Amino acid sequence: MYKEIFSIINKEFLYFIRQNKVIFFEIILPITSFLPLILTVWFLEGNTSYENFAYFVGTEHINNYYVIAFFGFIFFNISENLATLLERELYLNTLEQILLTPIKYISIIIGWFIYLCIKSIIYITVFYILAILIIDTSVVNIPLLLIGFTLMMLHSFILGTVMVIITLYLRKADAIIFTLVGILPIISCIVFPIQILPLSIQLISKLLPTTYLFDLIKYSLSGSRMIFDVWVTVLILFISSLIMFFLSIIFYKKSFERLKICGIMKY
């Protein structure tokens, strides 16, 4: 299995390296994506009073608080790209060949996930260097941030698997995935506290594990007010991730095996 996973990672890196133009753009993507955010925070910091922000969020660490947007970017980038990688194989008509090789269904998705994680860690390093140099950020609770980051990766894998299942079923699922990626950050309250949402949406937000996930990371970054206590949040996340992990893997296995039997054309 390790060899299979390694071969998938190797394949993706070889594919990545072959495209000279894209490498350059992939490297500068985190910089260009986050400069607008950094500049907006800088502008708001110098142009507005903290009172309202502190009242809602429970902290005055505005710079630290907005670093969460980057974690959100990584989270959704991994999930969305898992589906995009599958879509690419569908589009290039190579999925059928992959299906017929002895590679296991789980090795494919884990290989893609590890490849995306490596890219994300590079992004995070570049971003943090920029953030520390430009907007003077720090972390309030590093061990908790590491726990939050690990849980975030696990959740991004789960969401990515769900998106892969959607793509396998619908084949042309770009718009649904874009919508999911558009709506989830809002309902999960990534860059604002839950109290700012209308009451009806707050109820929906509280049903999503991603709300607690980003709540935990925001707390570890800036010491912001939380919905529940730290350990209750960690427990909720741990249990929800376990349940969803197994559910997503079961559904992924089912759709993959069905695809293996029917083939792409009849699927």
Partner 1 sequence: MIEMFQNLKISFLQDYRYRSNFIFGMLTPIFTIIPIFFTVRLFNLQREIEWYLKGIVIWFFISQIIWGNGVILKREKDRGTLEQLLLVPKNIIYFVINSSIYFILKAYVSMVFIIFISNITFGTQLSVLMITYILLLGFPFYYSLSMLVSFLCINVHNLFPILQVILASLMIFSGLTYDISFFSQFIYSVNRLNSLYHMISLARISNQINVAIILTYEALYLLITGVISLILVILLTNRYIRKFKINGRF
Cβ contacts of 147 within 8 Å, gap of 6 or more: 216, 220, 234
Query: Quick one: 53 or 71, whose CB is closer to partner 1?
Result: 53
CB 237 within 8 A of CB 245: no
Question: Shortest approach of partner 1 to residue 142 CB, angstroms?
Answer: 26
Question: Shortest approach of partner 1 to residue 98 CB, angstroms?
Answer: 18
State the Cα–Cα distance between residues 231 and 96, nearest whole angstrom: 45
Rounded to the nearest 10 degrees, the angle between the axes of helix 105-135 and helix 142-170 is 130
Query: Quick one: 88 or 260, whose CB is closer to partner 1?
Result: 88
Question: Shortest approach of partner 1 to residue 206 CB, angstroms?
Answer: 16
Q: Given the structure tokens 């005055």, which residue do they identify?
A: 60
Among candidate residues 80, 87, 109, the one with its CA nearest the CA of residue 171 = 87
Query: Quick one: 112 or 236, whose CB is closer to partner 1?
Result: 112
Binding site for partner 1 (CB under 8 A): 19, 21-22, 25-26, 28-29, 32-33, 35-36, 39-40, 42-44, 46-49, 51-53, 56-57, 84, 170, 172, 174-176, 178-179, 182-183, 185-186, 191-193, 196-197
Among candidate residues 204, 214, 260, the one with its CA nearest the CA of residue 237 = 214
Question: Shortest approach of partner 1 to residue 125 CB, angstroms?
Answer: 18
Token pair, residue 48, equals 């507005």
Query: Quick one: 197 or 249, whose CB is closer to partner 1?
Result: 197
Question: Shortest approach of partner 1 to residue 123 CB, angstroms?
Answer: 11
Query: Quick one: 36 or 102, whose CB is closer to partner 1?
Result: 36
